[in-house]
Amino acid sequence: MPSRAFYLSTPIYYVNARPHIGHTYTTVVADVIARRRRALGEEVWFLTGTDEHGQKIERSAANAGTAPQQFTDQVSAEFRGLWDRMGLSYDDFIRTTEDRHKRGVAKLWNVLKERGFLYKGTYTGQYCVWDELYVEAGPGAPCPDCGRTTETVSEENYFFKLSAFENRLLTLYAEQPDFIQPETRRNEVLAFVRGGLRDLSVSRTSFKWGIPVPGDPSHVIYVWLDALANYITALGYGSDDESLFGKFWPAQLHVIGKEISRFHCVYWPAFLMAAGLPLPRAVVAHGWLLFEQSKMSKSRGNIVRAETILAVLGADALRYFLLREIVFGQDGSFSFDALVGRYNADLANGYGNLVSRTLAMIVKYCEGVVPDGASDPVIGDQAGMTIDAVAGEFQGLNFSKALEAAWAYITSVDGFLSANTPWKRPAHISEKDEAVWRSGILYTAAEAIRILTALVYPVIPEAAAKVWAQLGLGEIKQADLRHLSWGGLQPGTRLGALGPVFPRADKDAAERMQAMELENTKTAPAAKPDTNPQAPEAVPAPSDPVFASLNPALPQSPSIVLTPDQVPTGPLPLGVFEPGLQSFEDAALVGQIAAPAPIEMVSASEVLAGAGAPKPDALPQITIDDFMKVELRVAQILVAERVPKADKLLRLEVDLGYERRQILAGIAETYAPEALVGRKVVIVANLAPRKLRGLESNGMVVAASLGERGKPALAGFLDEVELGARLK
């Protein structure tokens, strides 16, 4: 009998882009949790779906030359089709364009209105269409989250009294410290709320693609209020039948990516409090999947599709890789080489090989029937410890560690087989005792495989189902983790038909997948990217107005390749590295501080001596007005420390006299952090904030770029200078 109701959700995905493995990552994590919970006897409801309203989708549809409904039908079906092909075990898939959702949102609106939390006012301010986010900043300011240029909105809107919830939210975070996980996200949210909450505009009038405000249809409901409500509308909130809502709400867990913590941990609980509804138990935010060192996203053009991996290695390979390779909560990198490496080492040579050699021996020596033998006490004890370790790590959402524990056990069982050589009777075993001796070894290995298979089933369900059937245990659904203990495999069980579980990937597998992705990028995508000329993800350096005015000769296309004469060889004004790289920070992240090979660079000693150096090619002239757009200021380094897993990056905290801020600089190979503290440097103070390795960088430290490898030399002063002084 199922014991408890466990409701969990993924974010609902925007349909402006086709699914990529970043979306897959979240959905797989939720699927793993759902499967494990079911195996623990809980009654699980697992929700996913698509977010289909708002200005961003309306524009994407217009760019694709398609009506919004047709556009969203098409992309939503792609998401759902992919989840089905991957065997993701969702119980419901909600679309925000469905009637059931619209009805529920209208009810929520009415409840908020009746309870006095909505009022009409005028909003004049900035809006980031990409993030569908109101931004407190001046006209033309960049979005603090994504760096894209915000648009000025001046509309009569409905407002939600968010400010009334500041204290209640702070009390919630204090009383329920695990409401937001992990700790880093909690700190961010706390800082945001402690900074003060302003009322939130929750309707728009300047476009149409949304749910109309009940009784005032010239307004559409703000897309985040619309979207967040999916978690209750999918359970029937606002319909004639609210039985699922009664049974499963509040959710135990919302699984999200870290960039949408504020919406889920501030706005969503505030909406629910205002409506008098119970709050979800917890929100857990994972990190980003990086590809080629930056967040995988459509607009960067660095996406990898799950389809490619499914076609070559299968869904379990991707699931295993995502959970084993990425430390949950932190950013992690994807590469085809790493995927194939993990697949061969852990799945083909590890688990797959253990299964096939053990079961083949049972066929050969025991006529395909699990033998009755005395099991090895050490392997038996280790099984118990592994069950406990995996349970503990899963509970803490440390998937990577859970899998490490399971694979340590595989290594141990493998070692046990190799040490006991059941295929070759040792001299001290008499011929008479041979069958008993071998039965003990093979029973031990088969039972270890049963335990392992039940443990890893949530992560690699397809393979686990195969192995379960090969062990003669029928359908894996019967794997009940509540009663998993050593000795459960019945001697006399006849094995099922054997077959390969994880065939070894050939050495070209990574290249083939890369080629498939390349081919896919060339063929037109179904969902055309938005046109957002300011989007830094799309064209980082040249689209920046400051950068462009300094380098008007640079091409504006995302696929630019600088020819040698376009690459300046002297000190770099705002940094000209590889196309798309803006600074030492960017260059450090991709490990490309060196200039392209054919260009002759000035060596450090030549620069210092001032002799023999070829004159750098001049950049096009700029006016003083152009120069004045760059805010160069004196700052003092107060804190300098290395950024974990980024060899070239330092995290600096600098004092500008009037403010303290964090900057990331790609100078770790040249400067020891301790040598920098106290040093006065020049920074670009008005550079739009950017995230590197998940940390926000607010500005850029100016340095000369020396020699072929572009070694940085920080700009500084011989004179005494005041903090914050402007360079002009």
Structural contact between residues 286 and 29, judged by C-beta atoms closer than 8 angstroms: yes
| DSSP strand pairing (151-160 vs 118-128) | antiparallel
Separation between Cα atoms, residue 5 and residue 422, nearest integer Å: 46
> Residue 704's beta-bridge partner residues?
713
Structural contact between residues 319 and 403, judged by C-beta atoms closer than 8 angstroms: no
Is the CB of 19 or the CB of 666 nearer to ligand MSP? 19
Pick the binder of ligand MSP from 13, 158, 222, 271 (CB under 6 A): 13
Element (H, E) at 225: helix 223-228
Judged by CB under 6 A, the stretch of 21-29, 56-64, 148-156, 377-385 that binds ligand MSP is 21-29
Shortest CB 285 distance to ligand MSP, Å: 8
Is the CB of 326 or the CB of 703 nearer to ligand MSP? 326
Is the CB of 326 or the CB of 449 nearer to ligand MSP? 326
Which of the residues 223 through 262 are near ligand MSP (CB under 6 A)?
A: 227-228, 230, 256-257, 259-260
Instruction: Provide the residue count of the chain.
Output: 728
DSSP secondary structure, 125-182, as one string: EEEETTTTEEE-S-TTPBPTTT-PBPEEEEEEEEEE-GGGGHHHHHHHHHH-GGGEES
Structural contact between residues 716 and 681, judged by C-beta atoms closer than 8 angstroms: yes
Residue 159's CB is within 10 A of a number of other CB atoms, namely 19
Is the CB of 466 or the CB of 528 nearer to ligand MSP? 528
Pick the binder of ligand MSP from 6, 14, 160, 409 (CB under 6 A): 14
Separation between Cα atoms, residue 45 and residue 29, nearest integer Å: 14
Pick the binder of ligand MSP from 6, 18, 23, 165 (CB under 6 A): 23
Separation between Cα atoms, residue 128 and residue 211, nearest integer Å: 19
Shortest CB 60 distance to ligand MSP, Å: 12
Shortest CB 101 distance to ligand MSP, Å: 11
Structural contact between residues 127 and 146, judged by C-beta atoms closer than 8 angstroms: no
Is the CB of 304 or the CB of 495 nearer to ligand MSP? 304
Shortest CB 105 distance to ligand MSP, Å: 12
Amino acid at 129: V
Shortest CB 283 distance to ligand MSP, Å: 11
Say if residue 182 is preceded by a cis peptide, omega within 30 of 0: yes
Amino acid at 221: I
Shortest CB 132 distance to ligand MSP, Å: 8
Shortest CB 466 distance to ligand MSP, Å: 29
Judged by CB under 6 A, the stretch of 6-14, 163-171, 196-204, 702-710 that binds ligand MSP is 6-14
Is the CB of 179 or the CB of 547 nearer to ligand MSP? 179
Q: Which residue has the tokens 């524990």?
A: 405
Pick the binder of ligand MSP from 18, 22, 266, 451 (CB under 6 A): 22
Shortest CB 295 distance to ligand MSP, Å: 5
Q: Does 683 bind ligand MSP (CB under 6 A)?
A: no
Shortest CB 478 distance to ligand MSP, Å: 32
Is the CB of 11 or the CB of 712 nearer to ligand MSP? 11
Separation between Cα atoms, residue 360 and residue 367, nearest integer Å: 10
Is the CB of 54 or the CB of 350 nearer to ligand MSP? 54
Which of the residues 374 through 393 are near ligand MSP (CB under 6 A)?
A: none
- Residue burial 96-105, b: 16+ Cβ < 10 Å; e: rest: bbbebbbbbb
Tokens of 676: 């920098």
Shortest CB 530 distance to ligand MSP, Å: 12
Shortest CB 22 distance to ligand MSP, Å: 2
Shortest CB 326 distance to ligand MSP, Å: 9
Per-residue contact flags (x/-) with ligand MSP for residues 25 to 64, judged by CB under 6 A: xx------------------------x-------------
How far, CA to CA in Å, does 345 sit from each of 137, 218, 318?
A: 51, 59, 14
Which of the residues 549 through 588 are near ligand MSP (CB under 6 A)?
A: none
How far, CA to CA in Å, does 281 sit from each of 7, 12, 171, 191, 277?
A: 10, 19, 14, 21, 13
How far, CA to CA in Å, does 207 sit from each of 15, 73, 142, 160, 204?
A: 18, 20, 22, 20, 7
Binders of ligand MSP: how many residues, by CB under 6 A?
21
Is the CB of 8 or the CB of 228 nearer to ligand MSP? 228
Say if residue 536 is preceded by a cis peptide, omega within 30 of 0: no
Separation between Cα atoms, residue 397 and residue 408, nearest integer Å: 18
Per-residue contact flags (x/-) with ligand MSP for residues 280 to 319, judged by CB under 6 A: --------xx-----xxx----------------------
Judged by CB under 6 A, the stretch of 23-31, 196-204, 403-411, 487-495 that binds ligand MSP is 23-31
Query: Nearest 5°: phi and psi at 575?
Result: 90, 120
Structural contact between residues 452 and 351, judged by C-beta atoms closer than 8 angstroms: yes
Which of the residues 200 through 229 are near ligand MSP (CB under 6 A)?
A: 227-228
Is the CB of 36 or the CB of 254 nearer to ligand MSP? 254
Separation between Cα atoms, residue 426 and residue 556, nearest integer Å: 73
Judged by CB under 6 A, the stretch of 8-16, 381-389, 394-402, 550-558 that binds ligand MSP is 8-16
Shortest CB 259 distance to ligand MSP, Å: 6
Query: Nearest 5°: phi and psi at 471?
Result: -75, -5
Chain positions contacting ligand MSP, by CB under 6 A? 11-14, 22-23, 25-26, 51, 227-228, 230, 256-257, 259-260, 288-289, 295-297
